Amino acid sequence: MTHDLRILVPEDAIRTRVAALAAELATVLNGVSPLVVGLLDGAFVFTADLVRELARRQVPARVTFMSLASYGRSTRSRGTVTVIRDCAPDEVRQRTVLLVDDILDSGATLQFAHARLIAFGAARVITCVLLDKPSRRRVSFTPDFIGFTIPDAFAVGYGLDHAGEYRGLPWVATLPEGTP
């Protein structure tokens, strides 16, 4: 099924912002090469662009992924997060980790991932999300870097899906109100 999508963040705005984020991260990292941990599936596009912008700025990075599932969306009340694919504790130990996600919504996923990386012995965890929907926050979690703050609408594209579709769109769009 195709929807009547509205562009929320155009391609050139994303490109400019991702480059600016990489420049800020390069300053904060100050010569340290991070382990980038992207959260699957949604953050695969953002992670891929971000690590290339970091490399352009002489910040080499290792890259790995975690896949988490949050069951808070259906019930709303619990926000239980489970691990589908983990990253290796050995890789994380004593490293500066750059935790990357597509969108911060309730905050449960990023808070869980952050705590897990600390538990694995990360020296430092820097968090970076492309999109932030602060109006939907249920746990208090403030990311270190945010690409764009957006209103409470369902976002797709640039890695984000709706029922498995739209991840390949080069921009971020919103679904019409009331899409099931």
Least distance CB 161 / ligand 5GP (angstroms): 5
CA dihedral angle for residue 98, residue 88, residue 38, residue 176, rounded to 10 degrees: -140
92, interface contact from ligand 5GP, Mg ion, none, CB < 5-8 Å by kind: none
Q: Report in angstroms the alpha-carbon separations of 81 from 75, 141, 167.
A: 12, 15, 22
Residue 25 tokens, joined: 């991260």
Could you tell me which stretch among 7-15, 42-50, 58-66, 115-123 binds Mg ion (CB under 5 A)? 42-50
* 105: annotated active-site residue: yes
Least distance CB 49 / Mg ion (angstroms): 16
Least distance CB 39 / Mg ion (angstroms): 5
Rounded Cα distance, 72 and 70, in Å: 5
Residue 157 binds Mg ion, judged by CB under 5 A:
no
147, interface contact from ligand 5GP, Mg ion, none, CB < 5-8 Å by kind: none
CA neighbor of 10 nearest in space, from 178, 180, 176, 170: 170
Residues that bind Mg ion (CB under 5 A): 42
